[in-house]
Amino acid sequence: MATTAFGIYNIKQRPDGYYNCYYGDGKFREFKSVESAKEWVETIHYPAQIDKFFEVIGASDTLHRITKWAETAKPSPTLRDINTQFAAHCEEFEELREAVGADATMTAKQLADKHYTSNDITAGDFDHVAVVDALCDQIFTAWMLGIMLGYDMDKALDRVVTANESKFEDGKAILSPTGKVMKGKDYVAPHLADCIGEWGSW
């Protein structure tokens, strides 16, 4: 048992060998070991409680609202919950495909290959309200899936953005023949290993 300024954490072993880490009003998360439970408390959950006392503005505030929504909707996500959330995220891509009039018979990879070299999707094909709805829903479902998996999404996103910024050379983007931004000579890939929570040990 550990007592902090924001409450008490209790870790109890279950008959199946897993551990439940209890916090708040009966909420809990399941872990494979005591060490992984302690790590989650020390590096993810407890720091998040401290962050609630600081004002966050702009896009980060919106993302934090998704985090709070995810923790409220699924305070103790199971493998079933995670599979359902992955399915929800996949559904949002299909909604985007429909909203822009993309070929419904092609895989995502086939669509990417096609639209890197063609202009088949035009403004006239767009249902703009449906497009912006699908894009926002993809952000929402992706962020929620990351939170349910125990990932430090704030840290990970910041590093991915920083890595993308490093693609530029002398402040300019290097473009491929299809117009895709390429990795420049100063590119540094994001380090994300320490952003992975308990579920990342599968």
Digit-coded pLDDT (tens) for 81-131: 999 999 999 999 999 888 888 888 888 888 888 888 887 776 566 788 898
> What span, in angstroms and rounded, lies between the C-alpha atoms of 111 and 105?
9
Average pLDDT over every residue of 31-39: 89
DSSP 185: T
Q: DSSP assignment of 31-62, as one string? A: ESSHHHHHHHIIIIIHHHHHHTTS---THHHH
Residue 106: per-residue pLDDT: 86
Average pLDDT over every residue of 153-176: 91
> What span, in angstroms and rounded, lies between the C-alpha atoms of 181 and 175?
5
| Tokens at 170, concatenated | 């002398």
Confidence of residue 5 (pLDDT cuts 50, 70, 90): very low
> What span, in angstroms and rounded, lies between the C-alpha atoms of 182 and 168?
8
Residues with Cβ within 8 Å of residue 178, at least 6 apart in sequence: 116, 117
Residue 174 has pLDDT above 60, yes or no: yes
Higher pLDDT, 25 or 150: 150
